[in-house]
């Protein structure tokens, strides 16, 4: 399952959580794991909207599902690089 890093203190006026993504563009309705490494927590979430031009999603986070984030128990999903990844990194030769 895809993991998307969030800031648990940042929500929009509707109570949803905007977050950047990397890798392939998520699909509306896709179930993901929202995680915050700073606090070491994770929660189930659903993608509500996607802005591929900005590499941003809006998530409906199930706050009741929040638990400690044990990354070792979460299978690693290898993703192909995307346009969004290229925007995050600059290579200087």
Whether 22 shows a pLDDT value over 70: the answer reads yes
Is residue 82 within 8 A of residue 22, CB to CB? The reply is yes
- What's the pLDDT band for 30 if we cut at 50, 70, 90? very high
**pLDDT exceeds cutoff 90 at 58:** yes
What distance in Å separates the CA atoms of residue 20 and residue 34, rounded to the nearest whole number? 11
Q: Given this model, what pLDDT does residue 89 score? A: 47
Mean pLDDT of 64-81: 70
pLDDT of 83 reads 67
**Higher-scoring residue by pLDDT: 79, 42:** 42
Residue 93 covered by a domain: no
Q: How far apart (Å, rounded) are the C-alpha atoms in residues 60 and 57?
A: 10
Residue 63 backbone zone (phi > 0: left; psi -120 to 50: alpha; other: beta): alpha
91 pLDDT above the threshold of 90: no
Counted domains in the chain: 1
Range of the domain at 18: 3-88
Quick check: is 13 in a domain? yes
């Amino acid at each position: 399952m895809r993991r998307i890093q969030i800031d648990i203190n940042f929500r929009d006026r509707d109570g949803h959580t905007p977050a950047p993504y990397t890798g392939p563009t998520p699909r509306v309705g896709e179930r993901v794991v929202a995680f915050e490494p700073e606090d070491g927590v994770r929660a189930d979430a659903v993608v509500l909207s996607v802005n591929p031009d900005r590499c941003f999603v809006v998530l409906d986070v199930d706050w009741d599902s929040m638990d400690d984030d044990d990354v070792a128990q979460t299978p690693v999903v290898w993703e192909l690089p995307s346009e969004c990844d290229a925007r995050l990194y600059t290579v200087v030769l």
